[in-house]
Amino acid sequence: MNILITGGAGFIGSHASEHFLAQGHRVIALDNFDPYYSPDQKRRNLNVALQNSNFRLVEGDYGDRIFVSKLLQSEKIELVLHLAAQAGVRQSLVDPLKYEKVNVGSLISMLEAMRESGITRIVAASSSSVYGNTTPAPFKEDAPCLKPLSPYGATKRASEIFLGTYNGLHGLKAIIVRPFTVYGPRQRPDMAIAPFTRKILLGETITLYGDGSSARDYTYVSDIVDGLSAAVNSSPADYGIYNLGGEAPITLNDLIKALEKATGKTANLQRTSLQPGDVERTCADISRARKDLNFSPKVRLAEGLEKTVAWVREELRREGKAV
């Protein structure tokens, strides 16, 4: 199958590219190399994929309707795996218009490009942040999700609403996944695990927000890719929303302990108050994904952390910071 992956050079996108190439699909990765975090890191993310002749990297804006329309047609795309987003909960409080543009406005332009190109399938990544602070845990997909805690979460919910509308109005086959706090090699530097690891290894101080009791349902990136793979390959339904979570939420304090164990070093901590926009906990009910997508998270936190720590060590060596 010819698959367009938006955000194909990003953290999840680059892993997904490799996965679908290994399955024999043809992958067109579309990425604008936005400078929200290092474009160099994103280019390195594609080192493996670029060696495959079934892979093509296209640099551009997924919200450019005419450009995307041409791309969809010239590459005979059959399915769009939509992973491009403006991520970052805290920054969304500062510049909500940017999040509106990238996460909603651009999506509508792409959906219109798909419509005029006759492409009827999309698998799109939303976010666990749509649940906000008011949904009872464990989070179920049928919760109303009308009150996220950040503009980031609100824009992801808006994107889900529009995908639902396009399904009803134009017959777009849309599978939406809600990944829960994804971590692993190539993780974005504004998230918790990889940057924490980096600081522990370098002996730098980690700033912890809140009393450490906030909890996250960390999910290893290969498990997320497995979930995406099931959604792409089996097309379980014309429309559906699926949680993809690791099924083992842990508190921030326990995460630090686990990282100390994985690195063999003690973390220097500095505590400050919880940041606006940060939810208290995320916790997925994954029974729907288990049933329809045969989804089952395989990588336990200890193992995932080990792999992440190994990647961070490699990165530090490459930067000449031997640890």
Q: How far is CA 203 from CA 234, 255, 320, in A?
A: 46, 17, 16
Record the tokens describing residue 83, joined without a space. Answer: 């992973």
Q: Whose Cβ is closer to other proteins: residue 163's or residue 293's?
A: 163
DSSP letter at 268?
E
Q: Kindly state the smallest distance separating residue 136's Cβ from other proteins, in Å.
A: 15
CB 100, min distance to other proteins, A: 4
The contacts of residue 21 (CB under 8 Å, 6+ apart) are 27, 49, 52, 54, 55
CB of 146 to other proteins, least distance (A): 5
Active-site residue numbers? Answer: 152
Q: How far apart, in whole angstroms, are the C-alpha atoms of residue 242 and residue 140? A: 9
Q: Which is nearer to other proteins, 280 or 314 (CB)?
A: 280
Measured from the CB atom, is 97 or 237 closer to other proteins? 97
- Which residues, including other chains, have CB under 8 Å from residue 147's CB and lie 6 or more apart? 132, 134
Burial 33-49 (b: 16+ CB within 10 A, else e): bbebbeeebbeebbeeb
Residue 282 Cβ, how far from other proteins at the closest point, in Å? Answer: 15
Amino acid at 237: A
Residues in touch with other proteins (CB under 8 A): 65, 93, 96-97, 100-101, 104-105, 108-109, 111-112, 132-134, 144-151, 153-155, 157-158, 160-165, 167-169, 276-277
Of 151 and 297, CB closest to other proteins:
151
